[in-house]
C-alpha cells in the first residue's frame, strides 16, 4: 500500500522572502526538510522556517530534479504544490495542514438535470476510439513534451497546427486558437475557443496538460490521454456542426509538471479578460486501468467543486450507464493538477480520474509511460463523459 504523504513544496514571491543573494534563474521555495536529501550534490544553504520546512533557492533544473526524485524514490504521488506568488507564508501553511479545499456550497449544479439527450447521442455517434488513440500515439511520439526543452516547444506548436487544421477542414468562423504565454518557460498553453450564440453567458472550460518532464518521457497516460480527449471532442463538435449557446474553451496547459505554471497564467488570462466561467473539467490521466478499475470512473474530491462533481456523476449515469458502484471517489491530498488553479480562484472544477489513488499508473514520469499503458476502452469513457459535459453545460441552440 502506498501512503499518501504530504510532500509539498511551496513557491513564494520574491517580495515575500527575497534573499539578498539570488543567482539568475533561481527563485525562493519552501521545501519539506525531508526532501533536502535529494540535494546532497549542491549546497542549498537552507534557511529553517519551522520543524518541517526550509526555505531554499531553486533553479528550473533543481525543480525538475526534485520532482523526479519525489516520484521515483519515495513512490509517492505528488511532490510539490506551487502556490500563488501572492500567498503569504501563513496562508500556505494553513493550506498544507488542511490540504483539502473542497467547495461544498450549493450552486446551480445542485439541482441541474441532464436536458439534451438527442444532441449528446448525436455527438456520441461520431466519437471514434481509434481517432482518439491516434492523438495519444502522436503526442507520445515526441521524445518529451517538457516545458523546458525544444521538444516541448515543438509539441506545443504541433498541437496548435493540428487544431488550426481542424478549423480549415470545417471552415469554422467561430473557432479561435491562440497561445497564452507561460512565465519563465518557452512552452505556451494553447486555448481553443468555440464561440457560442450567447457569448454573454458564462463559458464552459475543459483542459489537460500537454507537458511531461524532460528526457525520454512519452507521457502517454500523463497526460496525452487527457489532452487527446480535447482533440477528439473538438474534432467531432466541428464535424457534427454542433451549435452551442455558450462559449466553450479547450485548454492544452503548458508547464503543469513544473508546478502548475501554465494553468496559473491561463486562469489569470480569464480573470484579466473578465471571462466568466460556468464550469471547468480537468482531464489528467484517464488511460490506465488495473482490473478492478475497469468500467469505473473516479472523481477527485479535493480542490474540486462538490456540486459540480455530483452533477458530472449524474451525467456518467445517464449517458454512460454507470451504476453507483462504478463511480468512486479519491483524493490527491495536494494540488496535484491544473484544476487546483481554477478552484483557488473560485471557479467550480471537476476532475474525473482513471483510478483510485492506490491504483494509478505506476509508470508516469518515466520512459515507460507509453501507449501500451493506455487502455483505449477505459480512456474512451472519459471522452464520452467530456462530450456529455460540453453539450449539457454548453447548451445547444434550440
Contacts to Zn ion by CB under 5 A: 222-223, 284
Total interface residues for ligand BES by CB under 6 A = 20
Q: Helix, strand, coil shares of the chain as percentages rounded to 5? A: 40, 15, 45
Site for ligand BES contains 84 (CB under 6 A): no
Q: Which does 259 bind (CB under 5 to 8 A by kind): ligand BES, Zn ion, none?
A: ligand BES
Active site (annotated) includes residue 173: no
Give the active site residue among 35, 235, 365, 378. 365
- Among residues 12, 31, 54, 82, the one that binds ligand BES under rule CB under 6 A: 82
Main-chain phi, psi angles of 18, to 5 degrees: -60, 110
Which distant-in-sequence residues (6+ apart) come within 8 Å of 179 by Cβ? Answer: 156, 160, 188, 189, 190, 191
User: What distance in Å separates the CA atoms of residue 73 and residue 375, rounded to the nearest whole number?
Assistant: 26
- Among residues 10, 66, 74, 79, the one that binds ligand BES under rule CB under 6 A: 79
Active site (annotated) includes residue 35: no
**Helical H runs in the chain?**
14-17, 60-74, 89-98, 117-124, 129-140, 150-170, 226-239, 261-272, 306-320, 339-344, 376-394
| Nearest one of 258, 261, 262, 217 to 364, comparing CA atoms | 217
Active site (annotated) includes residue 369: no
Site for ligand BES contains 92 (CB under 6 A): no
Active site (annotated) includes residue 108: no
Considering only residues 252-271, where is the footprint of ligand BES by CB under 6 A?
Answer: 256-257, 259-260
Site for ligand BES contains 8 (CB under 6 A): no
Binding part of the chain for ligand BES, among 79-87, 106-114, 191-199, 243-251 by CB under 6 A, reads: 79-87
Minimum distance of Zn ion from residue 209's CB (angstroms): 6
Active site (annotated) includes residue 41: no
Site for ligand BES contains 80 (CB under 6 A): yes
> What number of helices (H) and strands (E) belong to the chain?
11, 13
| Nearest one of 101, 96, 100, 27 to 66, comparing CA atoms | 27
Active site (annotated) includes residue 164: no
Minimum distance of Zn ion from residue 223's CB (angstroms): 4
Q: Strand order of the sheet with strand 53-58?
A: 10-11, 27-32, 53-58, 47-48
**What does the binding site for ligand BES look like in residue numbers (CB under 6 A)?**
67, 77-82, 222-223, 256-257, 259-260, 284-285, 332, 335-337, 360
Which residues belong to the active site? 209, 222, 256-257, 284, 365
Amino acid at each position: 500500500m502506498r501512503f499518501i504523504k504530504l510532500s509539498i513544496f511551496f513557491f513564494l514571491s520574491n517580495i515575500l522572502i527575497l534573499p539578498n543573494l539570488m543567482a539568475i534563474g533561481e527563485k525562493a521555495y519552501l521545501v519539506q526538510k525531508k526532501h533536502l536529501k535529494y540535494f546532497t550534490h549542491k549546497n542549498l544553504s537552507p534557511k529553517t522556517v519551522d520543524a518541517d520546512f526550509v526555505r531554499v533557492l531553486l533553479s528550473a533544473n533543481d525543480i525538475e530534479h526534485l520532482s523526479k526524485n519525489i516520484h521515483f524514490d519515495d513512490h509517492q504521488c505528488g511532490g510539490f504544490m506551487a502556490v500563488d506568488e501572492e500567498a503569504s507564508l501563513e496562508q500556505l501553511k494553513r493550506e498544507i495542514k488542511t490540504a483539502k479545499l473542497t467547495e461544498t456550497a450549493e450552486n446551480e449544479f445542485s439541482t441541474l438535470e441532464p436536458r439534451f439527450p438527442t444532441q449528446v447521442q448525436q455527438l456520441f455517434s461520431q466519437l471514434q476510439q481509434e481517432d482518439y488513440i491516434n492523438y495519444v500515439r502522436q503526442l507520445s511520439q515526441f521524445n518529451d513534451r517538457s516545458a523546458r526543452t525544444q521538444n516541448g516547444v515543438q509539441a506545443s506548436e504541433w498541437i496548435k497546427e493540428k487544431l488550426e487544421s481542424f478549423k480549415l477542414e470545417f471552415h469554422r468562423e467561430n473557432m479561435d486558437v491562440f497561445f497564452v504565454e507561460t512565465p519563465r518557460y518557452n512552452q505556451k498553453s494553447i486555448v481553443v475557443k468555440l464561440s457560442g450564440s450567447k457569448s454573454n453567458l458564462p463559458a464552459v472550460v475543459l483542459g489537460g496538460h500537454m507537458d511531461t518532464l524532460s528526457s525520454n518521457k512519452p507521457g502517454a497516460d500523463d497526460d496525452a490521454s487527457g489532452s487527446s480527449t480535447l482533440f477528439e471532442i473538438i474534432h467531432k463538435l466541428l464535424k457534427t456542426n454542433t451549435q452551442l449557446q455558450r462559449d466553450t474553451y479547450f485548454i492544452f496547459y503548458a508547464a503543469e509538471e513544473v508546478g502548475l505554471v501554465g494553468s496559473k497564467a491561463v486562469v489569470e488570462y480569464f480573470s484579466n479578460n473578465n471571462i466568466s466561467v460556468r464550469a471547468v473539467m480537468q482531464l489528467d490521466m484517464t488511460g490506465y486501468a488495473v482490473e478492478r478499475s475497469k468500467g469505473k470512473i473516479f472523481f477527485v474530491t479535493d480542490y474540486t467543486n462538490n456540486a459540480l462533481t455530483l452533477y458530472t456523476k449524474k451525467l456518467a449515469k445517464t449517458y454512460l450507464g454507470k451504476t453507483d458502484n462504478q463511480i468512486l471517489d479519491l483524493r490527491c491530498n495536494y494540488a496535484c493538477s491544473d484544476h487546483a488553479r481554477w478552484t483557488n480562484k473560485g471557479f467550480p472544477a471537476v476532475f474525473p480520474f482513471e483510478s483510485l489513488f492506490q491504483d494509478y499508473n505506476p509508470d508516469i514520469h518515466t520512459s515507460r509511460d507509453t501507449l501500451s499503458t493506455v487502455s483505449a476502452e477505459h480512456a474512451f469513457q472519459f471522452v464520452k463523459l467530456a462530450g456529455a459535459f460540453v453539450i449539457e453545460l454548453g447548451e445547444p441552440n434550440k
